[in-house]
A and B are shown apart, each in its own frame.
Chain A
Amino acid sequence: MFSEQAAPTAQGLLAPPSAEPPTFPRVPVSGYSDCSQPFQLGERSFSRQYAHIYAVRLAGMRPGLERCARKQWGNDIALRKLSELQAGEKCCVVGTLFKAMQLQPSILQEISEEHNLVPQPPLPKYIQPSDELMLEDELQRIKLEGAIDVQKLVTGTIVAVYGSEQDDGRFLVEDHCFADLPPPLPWNGPSSDRFVLLASGLGLGSVSGEALLSTQLLVDVVTGQLGAEGEQSCAAHITRVILAGNLLSQNTQSRDTINKAKYLTKKTQAASVEAVKMLDEILLQLCTSVPVDVMPGEFDPTNYTLPQQPLHRCMLPLASTYTTLHLVTNPYQANLDGVRFLGTSGQNISDIFKYSSMDDYLEILEWTLRAGHISPTAPDTLGCYPFYKSDPFILTECPHVYFCGNAPHFQSKLLQGKEGQRVLLVTVPDFSATQTACLINLRDLTCQPITFSGFGADSED
């Protein structure tokens, strides 16, 4: 594990200063390539409708799903479109799921005067027993019932259902299957221990400064300024730091300035300005020593729709002079030392959490991998750019590390696939709440949490 890397000749802190202070060179950067081109938007046009992204998603995932369906239910099953269904015939249909939810916030209902409704307050979960699932393909839709978990599934998932159409026009499902894990990538991982530090939810700019000490401790550990030579030699094995979103706290998002009169707000500065300055200073300390990838999150100053574009480097004048700072998109995909990382800042997972009965972030993360799509709820309840040519959120290759940021706790699991895929699923906890970051060992795909706290029984791992 991490602390076993300590150099054997290391001295403790209670030793006289040695004549020649030993230096621990950081393991050199090798083999980094950024694979998140599909998530980078060039010129953006919002004049398109979202029907395109659904059409492309269905057309793109249909072949894979038909293959999975044949593998699961036999080669001779009938694959039908909804328009070709005949009552009572057992067949398989591939389509997009739509969940009709009563509690789903609908802007049309809110602004409709005839209902006289007060806007619904945000709820943690919008599921209800009366929700219904419908399957849509290119032309028609049909209601589903039967062996399918209505509470668990969310709108936008592409699924293959096997069953038959009933006389009342509903489809009785006997079994269903998803796209399953995408094909595996070859493994070129390093042979020696190399660590990547994953942290998310730094939450700078919040009213309480409790997390600031922990953030500074994190920076000190990574740059090797903390601990005796043992810890410093361990820290030299960290090759990269990935900050997965929510660098700014939710408090910086106050929209009072919009509602207040102009004369009251003229001289006030947005809270995010101070927070970004703090972020710049922290990143400066990190960048002088280790490559850093900064992903934007829900509360960061970038666009709201997925895929979020990188933060602009003019906001970070001190840190952006270093080439070790990489401002990347959310979701982010890259090859680090031959290991493919793919992850988001957590908006996709928390959106599925709101509309599904699944409670565990790791379970949702695994489910999105099995469904073959990073964020199926994307245009419906989560903002998304209206793609028309291809859906970049479809998983075409299986990453080695799949993470999501801003989860309530740290969890990790090594998933083994049927075709030899090995994926490490990591839910990175919110640093401002838990003061915990994750260290991933690239050699054997293990993960351990590292907690920084100023006071309390927990010491550093």
Chain B
Amino acid sequence: MEQPRRITDSFPRRLRRRGPGRPPGRLKDKKDKKDKKDKDQDKVQAKVRDCSCSPSQPSPDPALLEMLRRFDLSWEYGPCSGITRLQRWERAQELGLSPPGPIRDALLEHRDNP
């Protein structure tokens, strides 16, 4: 699970209100669960995150998110809480568990979006 800290630290407050609607494909996303939790404080950050993704891509690909979620929940690579996905991937690599390469590429491509 991502830490709320990481989202709040990296994004400056720019806008005041939350976007009108969220793309339906992201409703089940973990990040959205975080949105609901931090609704009061992070309305701004949530919107900013949407905005910061948008220059590169309208929204993260739901299939990509599904792949990342499967990576998080797969037990072979150890616990997923408390470390970033990239750290977990690197650790799995060093232990010789051969995590799938596309995950790493996706994580590096969206470095600003843990």
A-to-B contact residues, CB < 8 Å: 47-49, 51-52, 55-56, 59-60, 63, 138-139, 386, 388-390
**B76-114 toward A: CB 8 Å interface, digit per residue (1/0)?**
101101110001001100111100000000000000000
Q: Is the CB of A47 within 8 A of B79?
A: no
Closest A residue by C-beta to B97: A59
Q: Could you show 24 A-B contacts with beta carbons less than 8 Å apart?
A: A47-B3, A47-B82, A48-B82, A48-B83, A49-B79, A49-B81, A49-B82, A51-B78, A51-B79, A52-B79, A55-B79, A56-B78, A59-B97, A60-B95, A138-B75, A138-B76, A138-B78, A139-B75, A386-B82, A388-B83, A388-B87, A388-B91, A389-B90, A389-B94
Which residues of chain B are near A138, meaning CB under 8 Å? 75-76, 78
Which residues of chain B are near A63, meaning CB under 8 Å? 96
Question: Known interface pairs A47-B3, A138-B75. Does A389 touch B82 (Cβ–Cβ under 8 Å)?
Answer: no
Max chain A CB contacts within 10 Å: which of B3, B83, B90?
B83
Main DSSP-derived SS at the B contact region: loop
Question: Known interface pairs A47-B3, A47-B82, A388-B87. Does A56 touch B75 (Cβ–Cβ under 8 Å)?
Answer: no
Which residues of chain A are near B87, meaning CB under 8 Å? 388-389
Q: What are the 7 closest A-B residue pairs judged by CB atoms, nearest first?
A: A55-B78, A48-B82, A51-B79, A59-B95, A389-B91, A388-B83, A138-B75
**B58-87 toward A: CB 8 Å interface, digit per residue (1/0)?**
000000000000000001101101110001
Expressed in whole angstroms, the Cα–Cα distance for A47 and B83 within the complex equals 9
Give, as a whole number of angstroms, the nearest-CB distance from A376 to chain B. 18
Q: Is the CB of B78 within 8 A of A52?
A: yes
Q: A51-B78, A389-B90 are known contacts; what are 17 more A-B pairs with Cβ within 8 Å?
A: A47-B3, A47-B82, A49-B79, A49-B82, A51-B81, A52-B78, A52-B82, A55-B78, A56-B91, A56-B95, A59-B95, A63-B96, A138-B75, A138-B76, A139-B75, A386-B82, A388-B83
Question: Known interface pairs A47-B3, A138-B76. Does A390 touch B94 (Cβ–Cβ under 8 Å)?
Answer: yes
Expressed in whole angstroms, the Cα–Cα distance for A55 and B81 within the complex equals 12
Which residues of chain B are near A388, meaning CB under 8 Å? 82-83, 87, 91
Q: Is the CB of A52 within 8 A of B83?
A: yes
Within 8 A of A (CB), among B8-52: none
Max chain A CB contacts within 10 Å: which of B3, B82, B87?
B82
Which residues of chain A are near B76, meaning CB under 8 Å? 138
Give, as a whole number of angstroms, the nearest-CB distance from A185 to chain B. 22
Give, as a whole number of angstroms, the nearest-CB distance from A388 to chain B. 5
Q: Is the CB of B81 within 8 A of A59?
A: no
Expressed in whole angstroms, the Cα–Cα distance for A51 and B88 within the complex equals 13
Expressed in whole angstroms, the Cα–Cα distance for A148 and B67 within the complex equals 43
Expressed in whole angstroms, the Cα–Cα distance for A388 and B89 within the complex equals 12
Expressed in whole angstroms, the Cα–Cα distance for A49 and B82 within the complex equals 7
Expressed in whole angstroms, the Cα–Cα distance for A139 and B87 within the complex equals 21
Which residues of chain B are near A49, meaning CB under 8 Å? 79, 81-82
Which residues of chain A are near B91, meaning CB under 8 Å? 56, 388-390
Expressed in whole angstroms, the Cα–Cα distance for A55 and B83 within the complex equals 13
Expressed in whole angstroms, the Cα–Cα distance for A389 and B78 within the complex equals 10
Expressed in whole angstroms, the Cα–Cα distance for A344 and B87 within the complex equals 30
Max chain A CB contacts within 10 Å: which of B3, B90, B96, B97?
B96
Closest B residue by C-beta to A45: B82
Give, as a whole number of angstroms, the nearest-CB distance from B80 to chain A. 10
Expressed in whole angstroms, the Cα–Cα distance for A139 and B3 within the complex equals 25
Which residues of chain B are near A56, meaning CB under 8 Å? 78, 91, 95
Give, as a whole number of angstroms, the nearest-CB distance from B49 to chain A. 21
Expressed in whole angstroms, the Cα–Cα distance for A239 and B83 within the complex equals 44
Closest B residue by C-beta to A49: B82
Expressed in whole angstroms, the Cα–Cα distance for A389 and B79 within the complex equals 11
Which residues of chain A are near B94, meaning CB under 8 Å? 389-390
